[in-house]
Amino acid sequence: MLVKALPRRLLLGPGPSNVHPRVLAALAQPLVGHMDPVFLAILDDVQAALRRLFGTRNPLTLPLSATGSAGMEACLVNLVEAGDRVLVGVAGVFGERMCEVAKRAGAEVHRVDTQPGCALDPDAMRDAIQRVRPKVVSFVHAETSTGVLQPVDEIVRAAREVEAFVVLDCVTSLGGVPVELDAWGIDAAYSGTQKCLSCPPGLSPASFSERAVACARERKTPVQSWFLDINLLSRYVGNERVYHHTAPISAIYGLAEGLRLIEAEGMEVRVQRHRVAAAALIEGMAELGFEPLVDAAVRLPSLTTLRLPAAVTRADEAQLRARLLEKYKIEVGGGLGPLAGQIWRIGLMGENARITNVEALLMALRQLLA
Amino acid sequence: MLVKALPRRLLLGPGPSNVHPRVLAALAQPLVGHMDPVFLAILDDVQAALRRLFGTRNPLTLPLSATGSAGMEACLVNLVEAGDRVLVGVAGVFGERMCEVAKRAGAEVHRVDTQPGCALDPDAMRDAIQRVRPKVVSFVHAETSTGVLQPVDEIVRAAREVEAFVVLDCVTSLGGVPVELDAWGIDAAYSGTQKCLSCPPGLSPASFSERAVACARERKTPVQSWFLDINLLSRYVGNERVYHHTAPISAIYGLAEGLRLIEAEGMEVRVQRHRVAAAALIEGMAELGFEPLVDAAVRLPSLTTLRLPAAVTRADEAQLRARLLEKYKIEVGGGLGPLAGQIWRIGLMGENARITNVEALLMALRQLLA
């Protein structure tokens, strides 16, 4: 398969989403070195833009050199030492993943579960926080497996009462819905570039509060991952400029351009664009018999989850997605984990959150389901 | 700093090296999804090409979704459980890093050191292996901090006698000098894309023997890194195609093209090209008073380390490199670790291993040192 012979896809799954041509052009710019003053200036710009987007003044705000799952691992392994109690709010596959990652970091993991497609219950979280008195409370802002946008305030307040650190997964929220780490009181957050930032997958924008940085600095044991140790990373992305690992230059060029596009549009306009596109999608899909899984109050605009019409069986749905991809070059996502075969996940993320894309999908589905 | 306004650099440092225009063009191709059959076919091709380049039939040969340092971590954390003995041959900064990574994986680390610029002594390694009887023996094939190409055979033989697993760092060797994992008996190896493969930094090609895969499968404790756990990764890159994390699509497009360029040239021609360029560099630099740090017998063609002329002080050398970068747009590397201020590291890697680049550097230096 030659790269040049690739089909043109409309990526309306749970990510990656389509990348703006200007970002693609940035990826193709010739390299400079990772210690070159020119590159360090770009990295500074990226960090500053990420701070604005995350709504934070955290000095340690950076693009981690790996995908969102590594961002999750970075947040947890830096804060957790063996035997520490971590409370995870589990509202889907990515909450589950947090439990697994925390366990592998040696944590004593406690969890609060919810039904698929529902938000975490803040009272249940508060009760568990009071009972467990965890060092870290970790949950997902925008659960990519269910399409729930989790309200943050009450859980963070409860965590603060016991002085717990709060880790927040912003993979499918950053750049699509408002994120305000400082106002919310988040200590460590991570995202991915391939969702609402409309960049290729490969980087995990992340931010650590001064309190989180101090916690990592004062650990009794070293961070188990050398690659993700913020004590070392901060010496490269900060003023010291000490070499740690070779930064992924081209990907950071792309992210720089993607962040510039976001700022040129403005987050207010962008958030509204995501809302409008999601509303049009839900309306149009309802006519085809697809019903939203998630209550309107906690529905994530960037990723809509829809129950399949009764006429579409589990076997049908995979075939329908395959035909959509082959014949119409449109990708949508199936269910993940316990929701496999029961729902579709349709992303309208970043550049893709546009009515024209909704219309293209609806037209294709009308023909396929006719 | 706008990405479009970047200067054009000739990257003759220890990596990244310049990227072929065809690889840059591949990076800029529109995305398909990470579960798209079209992408999975590209991934299959990349894995097959990496097997040929690594000289292995290992099914688990893959581009890890992070830089070479994450590849080091992946090899060690999958093989090591808490309390396991690991013997590291330390011939420079990257051997040091192996000790640190293994320690953080809970290993009891033993080490055999050598003088900066020297290869590991196979007898010292054998003695230590016999004495320690480690589970894992780990060392660097091409030490990027010293420019030594480490002979592999005797150390691997000694490791095999005690049934130790062998981990090999091929970051600055793969694609520049012959690598033959199966013939040598290596269990886990990793590289980086930004050196002799002439792709951007961001991926770590890696390979695990069936024995290494079995070791990871039969562990008593889970691999401490969820992101780098080969038990999970093998389910995505193998036949099952189970989602683990979102593959860095664009970077893999670039790697696919880079590997195609290597195969079009042929490794024999490519290896010879690296040798010829390095020889010309050493000859030309000698006229300027720079002398090779490393004995000819173990000198790495892709990265040449040179002692500075007596007239160039420690302060001078940093300024000289800065002027080379500013005025001539040529990057060369300074010394790392104990060799900082004492040597230069000049990479002629992948696409850059050409006489014309040597001439450009020599001309610039003649003017600067005149």
pLDDT tens digits along B191-229: 999 999 999 999 999 999 999 999 999 999 999 999 999
The Cα of A320 is separated from the nearest Cα of chain B by a number of Å equal to 14
Looking at residue A5, its pLDDT comes to 80
Give yes or no for A360 touching B (CB within 8 A).
no
**Which chain A positions have a beta carbon within 8 Å of B256's beta carbon?**
3
- Report residue B2's pLDDT band, with 50, 70 and 90 as the boundaries: low
- Distance (Å, whole) CA B140 – CA B129: 16
- Distance (Å, whole) CA B62 – CA B193: 12
In tens, the pLDDT along B239-256 reads 999 999 999 999 999 999
Give yes or no for B342 touching A (CB within 8 A).
no
Which residue among B33, B70, B200 sits closest to A31, beta carbon to beta carbon?
A: B200
Looking at residue A315, its pLDDT comes to 83
Q: Strands across the sheet with B330-334, in order?
A: B10-12, B330-334, B343-347, B303-307, B291-292
- Report residue A360's pLDDT band, with 50, 70 and 90 as the boundaries: very high
Give yes or no for B16 touching A (CB within 8 A).
yes
- Distance (Å, whole) CA B122 – CA B105: 26
Looking at residue B123, its pLDDT comes to 98
- Residue of B1, B2, B3 to mutate when probing chain A, most A C-beta within 10 A: B3
Q: How far is CA A43 from the centre of its chain?
A: 21
In tens, the pLDDT along A159-196 reads 999 999 999 999 999 999 999 999 999 999 999 999 99
Chain A 29-88, residues with CB within 8 Å of chain B CB atoms: 29-34, 36, 38, 41-42, 45, 65-70, 73
**Which chain A positions have a beta carbon within 8 Å of B25's beta carbon?**
4, 28
**Is there a contact between A11 and B33 if contact means CB atoms under 8 Å apart?**
yes
Cβ-based contacts under 8 A for chains A and B: 220
**Is there a contact between A69 and B105 if contact means CB atoms under 8 Å apart?**
no
Minimum Cα–Cα distance from B247: chain A residue: A201
Minimum Cα–Cα distance from B255: chain A residue: A3
Stated length of chain B: 370
Phi, psi of A202 (to 5 degrees): 145, -20
**Which chain B positions have a beta carbon within 8 Å of A103's beta carbon?**
222
pTM: 0.97
Tokens of A177: 């819905």
- Residue of A69, A232, A246, A325 to mutate when probing chain B, most B C-beta within 10 A: A246
Residue closest to A128 by CA, chosen among A87, A92, A99: A87
- Report residue B1's pLDDT band, with 50, 70 and 90 as the boundaries: low
Cα A302–A305–A307 angle (5° rounding)? 160
Give yes or no for A264 touching B (CB within 8 A).
no
In tens, the pLDDT along A50-71 reads 999 999 999 999 999 999 999 9
Helix axes B249-265, B37-54, angle to 10 degrees: 40
The average pLDDT across B327-348 equals 96
**Which chain B positions have a beta carbon within 8 Å of A192's beta carbon?**
246
Give yes or no for B328 touching A (CB within 8 A).
no
Half-sphere exposure of A334 (CA within 13 A, CB side): 23
The average pLDDT across A15-28 equals 96
Pairing of strands A142-143, A148-149: antiparallel
Minimum Cα–Cα distance from A223: chain B residue: B104
Tell whether the model's pLDDT for residue B5 goes beyond 90. Answer: no
With a CB cutoff of 8 Å and minimum separation 6, the contacts of A154 are A122, A125, A126
The average pLDDT across A119-128 equals 98
Percent of all residues in chain A with a pLDDT value above 90, rounded to a whole number: 96
- Distance (Å, whole) CA B123 – CA B129: 10
**Is there a contact between B201 and A248 if contact means CB atoms under 8 Å apart?**
yes
**Is there a contact between B30 and A13 if contact means CB atoms under 8 Å apart?**
no
Percent of all residues in chain B with a pLDDT value above 70, rounded to a whole number: 99
**A2 or A100, higher pLDDT:** A100
Looking at residue A321, its pLDDT comes to 97
Tokens of A298: 């906690």
Which residue among A6, A31, A73 sits closest to B18, beta carbon to beta carbon?
A: A31
**Is there a contact between A31 and B19 if contact means CB atoms under 8 Å apart?**
yes
**Which chain B positions have a beta carbon within 8 Å of A331's beta carbon?**
32-33, 36
Tell whether the model's pLDDT for residue A355 goes beyond 70. Answer: yes
**A177 or B1, higher pLDDT:** A177
Average pLDDT along chain A: 97
Which residue among A19, A223, A244 sits closest to B30, beta carbon to beta carbon?
A: A19
Tell whether the model's pLDDT for residue A87 goes beyond 90. Answer: yes
Give yes or no for B335 touching A (CB within 8 A).
no
Chain B 128-147, residues with CB within 8 Å of chain A CB atoms: none
Looking at residue B146, its pLDDT comes to 97
Which residue among B4, B26, B68 sits closest to A3, beta carbon to beta carbon?
A: B26
Looking at residue A370, its pLDDT comes to 87
- Report residue B267's pLDDT band, with 50, 70 and 90 as the boundaries: very high
User: Which domains can be identified in chain B, with CATH numbers?
Assistant: 8-16+266-369 (3.90.1150.10), 21-263 (3.40.640.10)
Looking at residue B311, its pLDDT comes to 87
On whether ipTM exceeds 0.90, the answer is yes
In tens, the pLDDT along B11-26 reads 999 999 999 999 999 9
**Which chain A positions have a beta carbon within 8 Å of B34's beta carbon?**
16, 201
- Report residue B370's pLDDT band, with 50, 70 and 90 as the boundaries: confident
Minimum Cα–Cα distance from A44: chain B residue: B1
Looking at residue A144, its pLDDT comes to 96
Phi, psi of A85 (to 5 degrees): -85, 130
Looking at residue B191, its pLDDT comes to 98
Give yes or no for B225 touching A (CB within 8 A).
yes
**Which chain A positions have a beta carbon within 8 Å of B4's beta carbon?**
25-26, 29
Tell whether the model's pLDDT for residue B320 goes beyond 60. Answer: yes
**Which chain A positions have a beta carbon within 8 Å of B227's beta carbon?**
66-67, 69-70, 73
**Which chain B positions have a beta carbon within 8 Å of A250's beta carbon?**
19, 27, 200-202, 251, 254
- Report residue B314's pLDDT band, with 50, 70 and 90 as the boundaries: confident
The full 3-state SS of chain B, as one line of letters, equals CCHHHCCCCEEECCCCCCCCHHHHHHHCCCCCCCCCHHHHHHHHHHHHHHHHHHCCCCCEEEEECCCHHHHHHHHHHHHCCCCCEEEEEECCHHHHHHHHHHHHCCCEEEEEECCCCCCCCHHHHHHHHHHHCCCEEEEECEECCCCEECCCHHHHHHHHHCCCEEEEECCCCECCECCCHHHHCCCEEECCCCCCCCCCCCCEEEEECHHHHHHHHCCCCCCCCCCCCHHHHHHHHCCCCCCCCCCCHHHHHHHHHHHHHHHHHCHHHHHHHHHHHHHHHHHHHHHCCCEECCCHHHECCCEEEEECCCCCCHHHHHHHHHHHHHHHCEEEEECCHHHCCCEEEEECCHHHCCHHHHHHHHHHHHHHHC
